[in-house]
Amino acid sequence: MEELALNPLRRHRNKRQRSLLIEDDWDDVPLISDDDADDQTSSKNARLRKQRNQKRSKRIFNWFCCGGWKTSCLDLLTLIWRLIKKKREPESRTVKIGQPEGGKKYPLNITRNQKYSIFTFLPQVLFEQFKFFLNFYFLVIAITQFFPQLRIGALYTYWAPLGFVLMVTLSREAYDDIKRYLRDREANGKKYTKLVSNDVVPVCCSDIGVSDVIVIQKDQKVPADMILLRTTEKNGSCFVRTDQLDGETDWKLRVAVPSCQQQLQCDEDLFKINGSAWVEKPHKDIYSFTGKFSCTLPNKETKEEPLGIDNALWANTVIASGTAVGLVVYTGAETRSVLNTSIPQSKIGLVDREINTLTKILFAGTLLLSLILTAIKGFSGDWYTTLPRFILLFSYIIPISLRVNLDMGKLVYTWMIMRDKAIPDTIVRNSTIPEELGRVEYLMTDKTGTLTQNEMVFKKLCLGQQLYSDDSMDELRKFLLQLYPPDASSPQYVKDGPVKLALQERIHNSVLALAVCHNVTPVLDKEELPLLSNDIEDDGDETVLFSRATTQLPFRYQASSPDEVALVKWTDSVGVTLVHRELDSMQIRLPNGCIISYSILQMFPFKSETKRMGIILQDDGSKEIIFFMKGADTVMADIVRHSNWLEEECDAMAREGLRTLVAGRKILTTEEYREFERKYQQAKLSMSDRVAQVNTVVQSLEKNLELLCVTGVEDQLQLDVRPTLELLRNAGIRIWMLTGDKLETATSIALSSRLIPRDQAIHTFKQVSNHREVHSELSSLRKKSNPSLIITGKSLEVCLMHAEEELMELACNSPVVVCCRCTPTHKEKVVQLLREYTKKPTCAVGDGGNDVSMIQAADVGIGLVGKEGNQASLAADFSITQFSHLGRLLMWHGRNSYKRSASLSQFVMHRGLIISTMQAIFSCVNKIVAESLYPGILMIGYTTVYTMAPVFSLVWDEDVSVHTALAFPELYKDLMKGQSLSYKTFVLWILISIYQGGAIMGGTHLFSSHHVVLITFTALLLTEFIMVALTIRTWHWLMLLAEIFSVTVYFASLFLLDRYFDIDVNLQLLGSSFWKAVILVLLSCVPLVVMSIYRRRCAPPEYTKLMPSNSMFRNCLFCTNEYKYSKL
């Protein structure tokens, strides 16, 4: 019924389908009831039953082949686990101060980031390893060697390499998990102070429970979700830093419960008032909280007070001022920070998945080849042992050394990244996915602390005809000093001065408006108190608010918005200083040192919906009541009086990337304010539509305000953000900005950083709440030509609920997407949806604790070490210190890691394919015998001592220089296509391997049948060394050393392992065998060299044109023409 109500077209369609079904039913009814009609009906019913059975069988087959049975089994196991575990659903609760609720069990307040326990370590690691076909295949092959009928060689031939791989994996996982355990133990062991009746006891973080009363000192992290009961600040408030929760570095103001702060003399009295708090059930939303506090005061008065987000202290936030006393209401897994953090999953690179697929194809080829040889020999006798023996003989088609080489290569890439002096202090925390850096197609980035430094700087003040910028601020400062002569508490305007009277008044009113219209509080640390004069009242607080401001020491300003701090700092720089702020008053120091006091009558905080904030003040001296307001130019244009210059100046500042605010004021009479206050209080007490009624009353004031000024504030960007974003965009990477900041802030930064180009159309998604509004906005977005999309977290939630697929389709086609007011859950969900819908590699970059979920959900997570701490850096796969380092990390190290692993993996496969081809020819020539061509010791030496060094030296290969990779980011686009490791290159290497193996074995018949092992093995190794040389694109001294070392070791081993070559070593024999091997090498390699020279001359890769003439770069033999575009 809900679907039909939401979509009337669907209702109409369903009616039409029902009518058609009724018509079909009447068609099935025979018109004549005779035997022919009965026969026709019976045959028709039988045919319908047959079709239904066929469809059912097809569905069952598809369900089985597509892995539906896996999903069903997992769902069943999940259901059984839930029934066993009996997980308690979260619910609302009543928490009494210091009195745990009997019979109720809440989560332990512990931090646990470990992946394994003592019991699950070994099984879980082994499962993670053997769920890959490659490792599982080697395990089965190794197990078969315990059966004498299937044994090909010594057990160590198969178990030694497999054991080495498992030992390295187990050691690495154990080391990483032990480090996580030590970090968790340190976090759980942090000491806090717990209040009990008439006593104070120390308590560990892990021992804190619901109903405990905890004392939190300044700069101490909040251990659990709490209600703020008391604080040492006189006004009952304190600041908290929430950067590790929501990514915003601005301090948030939190207010203690009034009855506990104002009515009690000391903290111990909390246990005498029978206090309790009803709180809602735990949920993820960090911006909302609902509760009620009840208590019986010492005067026997029963009091109930509402609790909101202003009374809440979330876990992982930090007390920034004073000392706080809080009542624990949520612990452990029920805290907001944990609910917004996902469990980290093991990441598997795209290259690893592609290689896993190729190994399955090779296994199918191995099985097919074994079946063919077994069929030729005949399915008689002990064929059931012959077939497995053939499979074992050809097991080198899928060499176990592939996994070893790739893992060691990843370690080399990690070492190269961490020692790159151009990106200092870069740390690789996940060495399993460096190749993913070269395949990224979508980049999700945070804003605060990632793209910006979150440091606002005041740039411009526009008063209409007069514009003040950095160059003219000194003039403004001198003018204000002249405006306030000594001992004058009001401005002394000069009628006949150089500045017009109207402009003098506007300057004074504008600066005053910016100095008082905000929620900023000036603070001074206790450590600085000895430097102050006796004018400061010291009552023991750790953070002191000024009562008088005769001192000239600077203040630290704290507020929920860095814009307001920038404005107040600017007014301080021109001589008008905020020196004291309480909940109901503030004091301003004028340029001449006089103090003006104001009473705060009403405060209207900034909201994303209204895009403005206001304040009503009364001058304590003149008793004048003034309503100040500032906000976005889009809304203030309808509130202030009409002006010819407002829109033009705002557009000019926006083009410069400045964040604009428009300020205005209105003088209120005593009668006007009293009437407003009466209506305002009535609206606040209303039980229905309270928010709408309050907004209506406030809007009655917001009319015909005097326009004062327009301000331009710049949010300073990180170093080289603009060129880095341009580099990534030219590389074909689509960039999405996911931030918890306001829409206006996010839009401003997107424009100033050039994330959205100046000529790019922008579609700002309106706030939507239902199905119809969603489709209306999506239709509007679809009509625009390739616009950048800006959307809020709430609108995103509604869209995903009603039109997820359509939204993702349009968003993925947009060049830039900006999601603002995003919670950590929103960020994680966006990354997951992007991976699901595009199937493309994603990368997430962030620097705060709120970015951890996003970083862990992406294919590649990159954390920045910055002002917001190390939480994102520790949870990421790669840690960098500047956003600008991202360009080199992707364009250069990502490119090299991917192309080197592609070359290395395909060459290791070639190494196994060529020897398996020789083994197949040997078996065919010798009457389909299932015997090995070479002894086991030579087979192990072939993949390790003899060829390991030359093949592994490919990890130092480079196809372009670092300068070229960064100067031509368009080269990165071809990496996204995956052409370096594709089915085309895979088939090419198979054909080369078959040809070379056949050439070596076929050419052997040109000589005598003596010393076949020596001649073919020597030709095989020399062919491998030459193929490595032909594959290399840039020679490194280690590559040359590896070639010389391997050749030397082989010829030296001829004298030590002569019995395995079935010869008596002498120089004459070696000489005759060597020239025969050289002929075989020429036969296997010369045609390929000729093809290489011809191809290099006729169709060279485009990137070779970017190389200097004297460069060591050249086209390798088997590199496909990857770089074919008309113009870089």
CA-CA distance, 211 to 207, in Å (whole number)?
12
The type of residue at 769 is S
Nearest-CA neighbor of 630 among 501, 514, 770, 793?
514
CA-CA distance, 779 to 393, in Å (whole number)?
62
Q: Are 686 and 647 in contact (CB under 8 A)?
A: no
CA-CA distance, 79 to 71, in Å (whole number)?
12
* Alpha carbon separation from 399 to 145, 407, 450, 558, 897 (Å, rounded): 16, 14, 43, 63, 21
Catalytic residue among 352, 446, 741, 859: 446
Q: Are 853 and 338 in contact (CB under 8 A)?
A: no
* Beta-sheet strand order (sheet of 251-255): 251-255, 237-241, 318-319
Reading the block at residue 231, the tokens are 């604080």
User: How crowded is the C-beta side of 909, counted as CA atoms within 13 Å?
Assistant: 26
**DSSP assignments along 1070-1101, one per residue:** HHHHHHHHHHHHHHHHHHHHHHHHHHHHHS--
The type of residue at 985 is T
CA-CA distance, 1008 to 429, in Å (whole number)?
57
* 3 state DSSP class of 931: coil
423 φ, ψ to 5°? -130, 70
Cα distance between the two ends of the chain: 56
322 φ, ψ to 5°? 70, -170
User: How many Å is the maximal CA-CA distance in the chain?
Assistant: 121
Name the β-bridge partners of 460: 712
Q: Are 716 and 452 in contact (CB under 8 A)?
A: yes
Active site residue 446: yes
- Sequence-separated (6 or more) residues with CB below 8 Å from residue 58: none
Burial of 904 (0-12, 13-18, 19+ CB in 10 A): buried
User: How crowded is the C-beta side of 373, counted as CA atoms within 13 Å?
Assistant: 29
> 473-483 vs 501-516: helix axis angle to the nearest 10?
100
| HEC per residue, 691-755 | HHHHHHHHHHHCCCEEEEEEEEEEEEECCCHHHHHHHHHHCCCEEEEECCCCHHHHHHHHHHCCC
* Alpha carbon separation from 386 to 139, 149, 858, 992, 1104 (Å, rounded): 20, 9, 47, 28, 51
Q: Are 711 and 460 in contact (CB under 8 A)?
A: yes
CA-CA distance, 743 to 822, in Å (whole number)?
10
- Sequence-separated (6 or more) residues with CB below 8 Å from residue 324: 215, 216, 228, 230, 231, 238, 254, 256, 313
User: Locate tokens 């970059």: which residue?
Assistant: 845
Q: Are 1088 and 992 in contact (CB under 8 A)?
A: yes
Beta strands, E only, 469-554:
521-525, 543-544
| HEC per residue, 968-983 | CCCHHHHHHCCCCCCH
CA-CA distance, 326 to 212, in Å (whole number)?
8
CA-CA distance, 1101 to 1114, in Å (whole number)?
9
DSSP assignment letter at 397:
G
Q: Are strands 312-313 and 816-820 parallel, antiparallel or unpaired?
A: unpaired
* 3 state DSSP class of 818: strand
* Alpha carbon separation from 420 to 196, 491, 718, 880, 885 (Å, rounded): 55, 60, 21, 12, 11
CA-CA distance, 123 to 173, in Å (whole number)?
12
Give the active site residues: 446
